[in-house]
Structure formats: structure tokens, C-alpha cells
Amino acid sequence: QVQLVESGGGLVQPGGSLRLSCAAAGFICSAVFMKWYRQAPGKEREFVALISSTGGITKYADSVKGRFTISRDNAKNTVYLQMNSLKPEDTAVYYCKVSLPQDYWGQGTQVTVSS
């Protein structure tokens, strides 16, 4: 069955960096777009970034543009989100998503940016 497992979250100080990973299984990861979303406490889940099947197309939310980088390693069925210059407002649970076309989500990984 389809599985998405996020990892790499944690507590980081403002200005710090984290790299999130999303390990995929149960489908041909190299054939589909992958997306990252996040949900902060009391807020709706919001789009963060997407990457095309080959990695040639990437798009970002305005709030993370220039600070976050999405990438993928299709040989490892894994998608990454490199997050630099983190701000307290980046605090959220981060999820990866695939549409097959049914939407599948991972369980999420908590990112907390605080001094």
C-alpha cells in the first residue's frame, strides 16, 4: 500500500537549518509530482513546495521562497525539503503528499523554531 514517512523535524533556533525527508513506498515515486505542506497550530494546512517527477519543475509558497529547497532522489524514493534561515513562523507539522490521483499524506514531522 501507499506509504509516506516524514522525518528530520526537531527544535531549531531562529536562523538555523533543517532537512526533512519523505520516504515513499507502494507506488512509482519517480512518475509523480510530490508536495510538501505544513500546518501550524490553529491554522489550516498550507502548501509549501512541489517538485515534478524528474525534478525539473519546482514551485514554492511565497513565504518560503529563497529559504527552502525541495529536491528528490528517485533511486531512493525520497523527497527532501532543505529549510534554511528558519523563522518562528515556520513552526508547524510538515507533511508530504502525493496525488495518484487519490491524495495520500504522511503522518507529519514537527518543526519548532524557537530560541
What is the mean pLDDT for each group of 10 consecutive residues in the chain (115 residues)?
96 98 90 95 97 95 98 96 98 96 95 97
How far apart are alpha carbons 114 and 92 in whole angstroms? Answer: 12
pLDDT score, position 31: 85
pLDDT score, position 27: 87
A 10 A CB-CB count for 99 gives 11
pLDDT score, position 28: 83
pLDDT score, position 68: 98
Would strands 34-39 and 92-99 be described as parallel, antiparallel, or unpaired? antiparallel
How far apart are alpha carbons 5 and 57 in whole angstroms? Answer: 23
pLDDT score, position 38: 98
Cell 509558497 belongs to residue? 61
pLDDT score, position 77: 94
SS (H, E, C) 31-100: HCCEEEEEECCCCCCEEEEEECCCCCCEEECCCCCCCEEEEEEHHHCEEEEEECCCCHHHCEEEEEEEEC
